[in-house]
Structure 1
Amino acid sequence: MTPTATVAYPAPSRRRLPIGIQTFSEIIQEGHYYVDKSGYALDLINTGKAYFLSRPRRFGKSLFLDTLKELFEGHAELFKGLAAEKRWDWTKQYPVIRISFGGGVAKSRAELAVRIQEILRSNRERLGLARPADWPESDTAGNLSHLIRQAHQTRGQRVVVLIDEYDKPILDNITDSAVAIEMREGLKDLYSVLKDADEHLKFVFLTGVSKFSKVSLFSGLNNLQDLTLMPEYSALCGYTDEDVDTVFAPELPGLDREEVRRWYNGYNWLGSSVYNPFDLLLLF
């Protein structure tokens, strides 16, 4: 069902629709629409250290993590005109370790270990850091711990760790409880590193679809603050009504605004109602 035209809107210049794009720099540099979330990023950085957020898939979690990455790496040119431009100290650049389980499916703990090895190897290459020859690559938790310490010592700034789709290896095997438990234990071994590395860490952010208890998967990570149902961060991902009426104003002529709201503005985490970004972009 396609909403019909009933309301007249001004038609400023249109931009490219960022459908399926999770890379902040691509959105900014190639002239796509962007709903500024950098203010939320600064609020989180200034008030805490370790966070967790659960949201459905295709809701902008990966894009927010990439925004954090570009911010901490000090790419000021990407934030011109955004909330962070004049509020961030661009003289500091922090080493960022980015871990994502969004791609591929691991069917055993051994496959998960190989995937983690690839991720850590990629991070080392990007940071220009070599793995000690006497450190077995199969020791994934030990390698992450060493990488965090090494990045801190080499760069002179504490490390930022961003973990996307933290729960996907478990959810991919949810119908096989034995394998799912193996995945949980493998991930628990990896994530436990973050507690002991606290002195080397500047900021930690984990996202996923599900919410596992801290007792099972995040044992010992007591400082992880869950943003999932905090009203002030309910619009951290997704588009608000104001975003639609301002950022996407060029796309609204010809659409019944109330019908758009009724069809797509159905998500709420105890604060502002938000639109699913992917669905709304497909509508436009």
Structure 2
Amino acid sequence: MNSRNIKVRSIGIHETNLQVKTDIEVEGLYTFVFRQREELKGYIHKYPDFLTNLEPVIIESHEDAPQIVKLMARAGRKAEVGPMAAVAGTISQLSMGFLLSKGSKYVIVDNGGDISIKTHEDAVVGLYAGESPLSGALGFKIKHEKTPMGICTSSGTVGHSISFGRADSVTVFAGESSTADALATSIANSAVGATDEDAVEKCLERADDFRGIMQGVLVIVGESAGTLGKIPKLVETDKKVVLGDLWDTIT
């Protein structure tokens, strides 16, 4: 891959912080993301429960629901959580779709750790797990033929998202980042127990409920870790990753 052909851009709109890596100019993406946010805010103004509900919601009767709302609600139902659990992953997914529609062959969109990826080259996605010693030491090698893929991480120890567990990270791999985001939240909520090992086991038990709608999951609590399903190959990395800067391409 010729790195000179890959462009890196940042887009920040209030809570949305996109890091975008692509092979085309990102003209129009800011406006597209802004419009998605405005459509979501407009829907929440009409239906306030969409913002606060921690349980799945049904919106089929709302003909005025925009695409972002439909994707969030669908993901929440799949993962058995409220729709806002999928907001970051859904914006990442829609942004990737926008760039693909403009002819991009290489897209990585990272929205605060919720990633959508579709590339014609292999890539490495770094693992960020808060204060865990595994954070920054490992990465996932993503084969281009396995994309598009959603890679989303939820944490009970890092960030501002609501989590009822204490996982340093729950990273879910799925076909869509909207679904991966909601599943990561749902699984991370189960990170409870007297020991780190107990918390990991509880997460994996919960993850087993979702085998049919995800590819795999990696759970990290302290120095304990566990996986379920198929996850990309783990590789060592010395990259110092922080939330919102999780990926590095193979050159």
TM over 0.5: no
Higher helix share: 1
Q: Which has the larger radius of gyration?
A: 1
Instruction: Give the TM bin, normalised by the shorter chain.
Output: under 0.3
Q: What's the TM-score, normalizing by structure 2?
A: 0.27
Q: Tell me: higher relative CO, structure 1 or 2? Use CA pairs within 8 A at least 6 residues apart.
A: 1
Higher strand share: 2
